[in-house]
Amino acid sequence: MHFEKLTVNKRATQINVDVERVANAAVRTFDKVMGKLRLGGRRAAYDDVAYEFLGGAQDTLRKKHYDKSLRLLWKAEHAAPWTSFKDAGEAEKALLGIAERGLNDAEKSARSRISSKDFKALLDREYTLAEKKALVKILSKIGHGEAYAWLVSASMLNEVKSTGARAAVTMQVMEEAKHFVVLRELIQAFDVGVPRQAVWDYLLLEGCLRAKGLNRFFGMNVLVETIALSIFGMLSDKPGLEVLRLFHLDESRHTALPDNYFREFPMTEWQKKSPSARLSRLVMSLPAVPLVLYLEPELAELGVDVFEFAGSVLRKAVHLAERSGFLLPLPGKPMLAMFNAIFNAYCKATREHHEWRDYMAADTTGGAAEAAIEREIFGTPQAAAAE
Ligand SMILES: [Fe+2]
Ligand SMILES: [Fe+2]
């Protein structure tokens, strides 16, 4: 490369450099003092000398979340061709074309692009009106939840330390945006209207967004995303809902984020164990119980016992919370035993011929791949319930 050099005035350049050096020293010192006095200072948690965000590189977090998210990145144009999305690139389309050439006719027709009209016809063929309404009621809980997941994850960008953690959270923000817009089209395709948030959903999700600092990781990534993961796992093997497998895969990564983050930046014992922190987590979790239990008629319409579903959600959420260090007022085992007793007492009072059941060992995840992913995160239901 040959550049045509221009001449500069060396003396003027030197003066400019000196002015910048003095100004930089003055501004940085002022910001440092203001920061120490907690009166402001530098807004960015960024170290331009080390060329890193405060907290360092943390490449492990980046590899486990940012790199993995990009490897598993899916596009709605391929995964849900009946939607309005045109998000696949030319190179991806060419690759898919090559892959499809290797399929036989039956495989090709199974993968064929279907229009939005065809998709609605498929839903009408596969489900009765009551089943469609039940599916929409259940999915809309997560539909509204994805809006909050998008808001909460974006707010976490300024909460986490290190380049790796920010890269990880950035991918979560992008995935939640995709979940919100794609799930919205899926739910609207049922053509039965979309219910607004019930009071429990509203309180739970507002509580997550209002929570202080890393407690938002507990509310969203541990609690809400475990409910989402369980709903996606329960429905992803149903006709027309196959795209939920990809949501399930993304949510499993999101539920693992707090634990991976705390391995790099552990919480203090006080943050984990203080009575006020334990209590605030309990208060944050309480609306989740009626949120799930009020789904009894809709889950029953799909052949799922609400207490089995609730038991499996509770077991997974408690396991994740304890593993991440988000302790609750009671240790996991007695708390699960308490809920098991309450569920059984309620069923005994309201159902005919109820026999005692260990609801905490139940599992309502349908697809084999999804069950395998959950076993990796939570262990087997029996082992986890016996822990
Ligand atoms: Fe999501
Ligand atoms: Fe998520």
Q: What is the pLDDT of residues 300-359, one digit of tens each?
A: 999 999 999 999 999 999 999 999 999 999 999 999 999 999 999 999 999 888 999 999
- Residue 8 lies inside a defined structural domain of this protein: no
Q: Which residues constitute the domain of residue 126?
A: 57-86+115-386
Q: Is the CB of residue 95 less than 8 Å from the CB of residue 63?
A: no
> Does the residue 176 lie in any domain?
yes
Q: 3-state DSSP call for residue 383? A: helix
Residue 358 lies in a domain: yes
**C-alpha of residue 228 to centroid of ligand 2, in Å:** 8
pLDDT at 258: 96
pLDDT higher than threshold 80 for residue 82: yes
Q: Is residue 119 part of a domain?
A: yes
Q: Is the dihedral of CA 230, 234, 237, 241 positive or negative?
A: negative
Q: What is the per-residue pLDDT across 158-206, written as a single tens digit (0 to 9) for each? A: 999 999 999 999 999 999 999 999 999 999 999 999 999 999 999 999 9
Ligand that lies nearest to the alpha carbon of residue 179, given by its number in the listed order:
1
356 within a domain of the structure (yes/no): yes
What is the distance in A from the centroid of ligand 1 to the CA of 42? 33
Q: How far is the CA of 385 from the centre of ligand 2 (A)?
A: 25
pLDDT tier at 95, thresholds 50, 70, 90: confident
**243, part of any domain:** yes
Res 371: pLDDT? 87
Report the length, in residues, of the chain: 387
pLDDT of residue 215: 92
The pTM of the full predicted model, rounded to 2 decimals, is 0.89
Distance 182 CA to ligand 1 centre (A): 10
The tens digit of pLDDT for each residue in 15-37 reads: 999 999 999 999 999 999 999 99
**CATH code, domain with 377:** 1.10.620.20
> Residue 270: what residue type?
W
- Tell me, yes or no, whether 20 lies in a domain: no
Q: How far is the CA of 146 from the centre of ligand 1 (A)?
A: 5
Mean pLDDT of 366-379: 83
Whole-number Å distance between alpha carbons of 370 and 356: 28
Q: For residue 110, is pLDDT > 70?
A: no
Band (367; pLDDT cuts 50, 70, 90): confident
As for how many domains the chain has, the answer is: 1
162 in Cβ contact with 53 (< 8 Å)? yes
Residue 52 in domain? no
